[in-house]
Amino acid sequence: MKTLQQSEKIIAERYRIIGKLGQGGVGITYAAVDLNSNQKVALKALSLRLTTEWKKIELFEREAKTLSGLNHPGIPRYIDYFQVDTSQDRCFYIAQQLAPGKSLAQWIENGWKPNEAQVRHIAYQLLEILAYLQSLLPPAIHRDIKPQNIILQKNGRVFLVDFGAVQNTYHYTVTGGSTVVGTYGYMAPEQFRGKAVLSTDLYGLGTTLLFLLTQKFPSDLPREKLKVKFREIVSISPEFADWLEKVIEPAIEERFNSAKDALSALRGEQPSGNNPDKMFKRSPQSRITLIDTKRWLLIKIHPDRSPSKLKWFFQFIHLSYKFLLPFSLILGFVLSSLSCEYTTTDWLLTLYGRFLVISFLAITTFTLFYALMWLCRCLWRTDFRRFTRPIQITPQDIQRVKLSGIHLPLLKKSITFCRIRAKSRNYCFGLFLPQAEKEWLVGELNDCLSKLK
């Protein structure tokens, strides 16, 4: 892509270009001055006329949307997203806080040779940033961790920039995206298949740290069965070498599951190795517990302290069946006794009649609802799990996991739930979970299945 803007040119009557910072796969980034605040900003630009792939525009818009929702001291602050139309072109722009400092690639080019302590300090900060991204709903995956996208200040503070390749886990799960995004040498093996998981960014982090330690590109380092061999050419402690070796494992299942796990291991809070026989996961909002072993999966949904209106409706029907019927009989018996000995007013009888009608309707609705569940279980081998009842299933029995939806006439939006299609029966559950948690759970279950294949 050619240079779009010249120095001193003013964009959108607000940003004055002062120089070019860099050029990536999606857009050119300029240093500019915000004339409103007189602060330096990074202005990323993408030309519609010079763009040969519509995918780049999609990535650019996704980057702006992602940045607008981020709030972390290690990520430059999002300012604005806009477009400028001319007679010959349409340009898209993302304005961000300009991270002061130089990229790790520039530091190495200038002769910097960091020691283990300095590399560890960089790793700590980057893992905290990645842990924040992975705690979002849905989790965000950067997919292009490399020295050029990491800014280091003289005081040791680190910034992660260029979210042009960012992807959330739900986007991959639902669409099955197969676009290969990343930088050769720093890309995890699964990225060549168009796949990205939480540990994908860890691989990019590990190869970046190797670049700092060896002063060589990861693609130039010796390999054995896709595994980078670095121990003989670096001078670091065995503990850090073990941790680094696990971070850059080619196989997903051999790496740390998340940035949080990798950070805990680097701090010495847990061993670098994890138990492959059992994997415990909990959603970022701690509503769901997923335990994955070689023999079975256990899914448990914890009670919600603030139930939705839909759940209140079903709970009302459930309580009506248990309490309204006996209460109606007792109340009728009492009113009948009073009518024999005392004068009972007409309004009291009318009130009881209305109460009896409401009870009858609630009990009828409850009976029909559970009758439908029974029919689904018997005729279509579908098990609708109630509220917090756990599910235990053999992974080899699962054929497909997806989000399904139903539309009720009285509701404006469709109701979605998780569906597991197994050989023996189907499981439908998670009806009252927030949409983001349903997406997280379906993504994790599909990830478990992909490891078995």
CA atoms of 195 and 177, how far apart (whole Å): 7
Annotated catalytic residue, options 34, 144, 162, 447? 144
CA gap 119, 362 in Å, rounded: 65
* Structure token pair of residue 124: 């700590």
Q: Is 144 a catalytic residue?
A: yes
Does a cis peptide bond (omega within 30 degrees of 0) precede residue 238?
A: no
Give yes or no for a contact between 17 and 7, defined as CB atoms under 8 angstroms apart: yes
**What is the rounded CA–CA span in Å between residue 123 and residue 265?**
12
The phi, psi pair for 184, rounded to 5°, reads -55, 135
**CB contact set of 400 (below 8 Å; sequence gap of 6+):** 420, 421
DSSP 156: S
Q: Is 105 exposed, middle or buried (0-12, 13-18, 19+ CB in 10 A)?
A: middle
CATH of domain 10-97: 3.30.200.20
Tokens describing residue 91:
């340009």
Residue 38's region, left for phi above 0, alpha for psi from -120 to 50, else beta, is left
Q: Which CATH number fits domain 102-274: 3.10.180.10, 2.60.40.10, 1.10.510.10, 3.40.30.10?
A: 1.10.510.10
Query: What are the two backbone dihedrals, phi and then psi, of residue 33, each rounded to the nearest 5 degrees?
Result: -115, 130
Q: Is the dihedral of CA 98, 99, 105, 107 positive or negative?
A: positive
Alpha-carbon distances, residue 282 vs 132, 301, 360, 419, 445 (angstroms): 15, 10, 41, 19, 12
Question: Domain-by-domain residue ranges, the chain?
Answer: 10-97, 102-274, 309-452
Rounded Cα distance, 196 and 443, in Å: 11
Given CA atoms 279, 247, 183, 131 in this order, what sign does their dihedral have?
positive
**Tens digit of each residue's pLDDT, the chain (453 residues):** 455 566 678 898 899 999 888 776 667 889 999 999 999 999 999 888 887 777 788 888 888 888 888 999 999 999 999 999 888 888 999 999 998 899 999 999 999 999 999 999 999 999 999 999 998 878 888 888 999 999 999 999 999 998 877 765 333 333 334 455 567 889 888 888 888 888 999 999 999 999 999 999 988 899 887 889 999 899 999 889 999 999 999 988 889 989 999 999 998 766 554 443 344 444 444 456 665 555 556 676 655 544 455 455 555 555 555 555 565 556 555 555 554 444 445 555 555 555 556 566 666 665 665 565 555 555 444 445 444 456 777 777 788 888 887 765 555 667 787 888 887 777 777 777 777 777 777 877 777 776 655
